[in-house]
Amino acid sequence: MRLDVNTLFVVTMHVEVILGLLLYFVWSQNLGKRALAWWGGAHLMRAASIMLFGLHGSVPEAVSIDLANAALFTSFSLTWSGARVFDRRAPEPLWALVGVAVWIVASRLPQSSSMIELRALTGAAIVACYTWLAAFEFWRGRAEALVSRWPAIFMLSAHGALFLLRTPLGAMQHIAPSNNLAMSGWLDLLSLEGLLFTISIAFILLAMAKESTEYRHRTAARTDALTGVANRRGFLEQTAASSRSAADPGPTAVLMFDLDHFKLINDRHGHAVGDRALQIFADTARAHVGSSGMVARWGGDEFVAVLYDITHERAATLAERIQVAFEKAAANIEGYRPNATVSVGMVYCPGGELDLQRLLLQADRALYRAKADGRNRLAVAPLDAAMAADETILASAGRRSAAA
């Protein structure tokens, strides 16, 4: 049984319009999701291209072929641009118009049968490239762990490949008349795939936008808005999850940081300088800790870091390096010289069951001792509170001053 391709064209055009308006409606409810507007425009542009293709024979080919293809390529470039906007990357308007420019050049080729086939293959390649670029953008943004991201990547990748098959199948239909029925069947299925693709991708993109909003709300609730590192809630939840997922967390160090004389910095130089000092420290600590642990803002001018699978010596050295780097980076802020420094309290757990609350308490006590003994230094506390009398103070301020 043959599918009525003309009916499929009409149905697809109406579906494209409905889905485009639906995406615009959802965007109007949340204007921050600008990608929905790009994707809505893509569906409406595809509807326009289908309508122009349907006028073939009743209007000049410059409209029913050239303009229709230009609208088709623009629609897929809008899908790609929307994928970039979705993951907070700027659209590339010049590259989005490359497909149309290539088609204009191709449309000027002589009207021989071989050139017509080349033009068709060029058009299919343009659509496939933009579709694959959209899939690549979603893959590149996979750091935002969205379940719906993977169906979108698969659908776009598959659609680009299938669209590219249409031209050789059409050519084979003319070359091998004996296989005409089989080739026509495959072309009908590809046309049906186009309809199913446009429906499924629209709802997948809507699901991605919804999931992304929820994901970013959850992330914002666990992230300090000023510094970009985790807040106390995010720190506790993530470290608890890490502890549950590891049977033996291994050697662990907890560092508590407190910016020295932070109130004085705010009073003398203003809160803008104080805020910048907090941001500089967060960036410095995060850069030094890297993937070996995590950094969080504990509250006010206090920060905490947890380091996994690390030796006692390396943890102490890392803490000192953060102190030295911060002292250099915060020596001059916005033209002021607050000469900000930081005190550190550290506790080390060689292994076994990880009692984070206990480690935080011990690190906080060591931090208090570091500040009491002159600030801008590292104090290392034993794990057992009963051994507090044996607490060792690493007075390294002199060495740091020399390094600066």
Query: Looking at residues 131-140, what average pLDDT do you find?
Result: 97
pLDDT, tens digit, for every residue of 206-265? 999 999 999 988 888 999 999 999 999 999 988 887 765 555 668 999 999 999 999 999
Please tell me the predicted confidence (pLDDT) of residue 174: 46
Last residue of a domain, one of 221, 251, 277: 221
Is residue 251 located within the same domain as residue 202? no
On whether residue 332 sits in a domain, the answer given is yes
Q: Print burial letters for 106-121: b (CB count within 10 Å at least 16), e (below 16).
A: bbeeeeeeeeeeebbb
In this structure, the strands spanning 378-381 and 342-349 are parallel
pLDDT mean across residues, the chain: 85
Please tell me the predicted confidence (pLDDT) of residue 170: 54
Domain range for 91 is 5-221
> Rg of the chain over CA atoms, in angstroms?
31
pLDDT band at 100 (very low <50, low <70, confident <90, very high): very high
Is residue 296 located within the same domain as residue 268? yes
Task: Report how far residue 319's alpha carbon sits from residue 336's, in angstroms, rounded to the nearest whole number.
Answer: 26
| Token pair of 268 as six digits | 């003398």
Q: Pick from 365, 391, 395, 396: which is nearest to 380 by CA?
A: 391
**Which range has the worst mean pLDDT, 53-57, 99-103, 366-370?**
53-57
On whether residue 196 sits in a domain, the answer given is yes
Q: What percent of the chain has pLDDT over 70?
A: 84
pLDDT, tens digit, for every residue of 40-82? 999 999 999 999 988 888 999 888 888 999 999 999 999 999 9
Query: Looking at residues 31-40, what average pLDDT do you find?
Result: 95
On whether residue 138 sits in a domain, the answer given is yes
CA 166 to chain centre: 33
On whether residue 227 sits in a domain, the answer given is no
Last residue of a domain, one of 221, 243, 273: 221
Please tell me the predicted confidence (pLDDT) of residue 363: 95
Is residue 246 located within the same domain as residue 207? no
Task: Report how far residue 99's alpha carbon sits from residue 92's, in angstroms, rounded to the nearest whole number.
Answer: 12
Please tell me the predicted confidence (pLDDT) of residue 175: 43
Is residue 387 located within the same domain as residue 335? yes
294: CATH = 3.30.70.270
Query: Looking at residues 292-314, what average pLDDT do you find?
Result: 94
| Token pair of 286 as six digits | 């995060």
